[in-house]
Amino acid sequence: MDDGDSRWRSDPRGQYVTPPCQSAGPAAQQWAEALAAWAIPEEILAAAPQSPYGFDVGMFARLADEALERETPSQQVAREALSDGGSVLDVGCGGGAASLPLAPPATFIVGLDQGAGMLQAFAQRAAARAVVHETIEGAWPDVAGQAPVVDVVVCHNVFYNVSDLRPFVQRLSEHARKRVVVQLTQHHPLSWLNPLWKELHEIDRPHGPTADDAAAVVREAGFDPVVQHWTGPMRAGRTADELVAFVRQRLCLGSERDPEVRMLIGRYPPPVRRPTVTLWWSSPGQPA
């Protein structure tokens, strides 16, 4: 889950990442370097009244509920590999937005997340839908050894949290008998905040990496992903007041700046829809 959360260790980007591998290929190195450019300047971080990191469980629970009401290309390609039923592993599951819409046909879902609150939200929603499930608490790929091999592995909105992407991808593939389905936005999910950073802190924020860069890392890992571009709804999941609080936290500001933040959100609103990408590839098959 993005909006970016060791190996997923907290770092100054407000993300949870693995240290970049020194033996990574050029695509993986470029990915890691592009994410490193998101580091919050130390002087801004030091003055923040609260940590700019972390995620609201309630928001991810609402996103899971909303996901049950729509059909996406990511759901379609995952469901194709589950036409006769089967099992799913949801890496970075949050409230279950990536996996719970797959049941049926999925008959068993494993939710993996490093947040206990996220796993509780996932389990509650799975139980309410009478979905056979289990949970694994921990960061991928650290706890990959605890996860079963399943028919389909899904991983939505996590890649921008991972600096060392190649081994992350390889472990996803090792756990899928049929297919791996990854979803991410075309651009970094916090890039819409760049104008606010400029207005409030007078700094320019990066624009990379992109989903195309992620696809290059997947290819460098030895897989041949199908790339589907589409436009999805903004993962808002917030009231107006919650959005102000979210922006204030991410920009390391205090609540006394809320009127200014609210005004700037009106000037630079989050997009209603944004370019989204589904990457999927078939398993089994180990990297060359």
Residue 80 maps to which CATH number? 3.40.50.150
Residue 261 lies in a domain: no
pLDDT digits (tens, 9 = 90+) for 177-216: 999 999 999 999 999 999 999 999 999 999 999 999 999 9
Residue 120 lies in a domain: yes
Q: Token pair for residue 84?
A: 């006769």
pLDDT digits (tens, 9 = 90+) for 128-159: 999 999 999 999 999 999 999 999 999 999 99
Residue 256 lies in a domain: no
What is the reported pLDDT for 16? Answer: 42
Q: Token pair for residue 138?
A: 């921990």
Residue 251 lies in a domain: no
Number of domains, the chain: 1
Residue 137 lies in a domain: yes
Residue 182 lies in a domain: yes
- Predicted TM-score (pTM) above 0.85: yes
What is the reported pLDDT for 56? Answer: 82
Please give the average per-residue pLDDT across 80-104, as a whole number. 96
What is the reported pLDDT for 232? Answer: 85
Residue 197 lies in a domain: no
Residue 117 lies in a domain: yes
Greatest CA span in the chain, whole angstroms? Answer: 55
Please give the average per-residue pLDDT across 8-14, as a whole number. 34
How high is the mean pLDDT of the chain? 90
Domain encompassing residue 55: 9-191+206-240+276-282
Residue 22 pLDDT > 60, yes or no? no
Q: Token pair for residue 159?
A: 């890649």
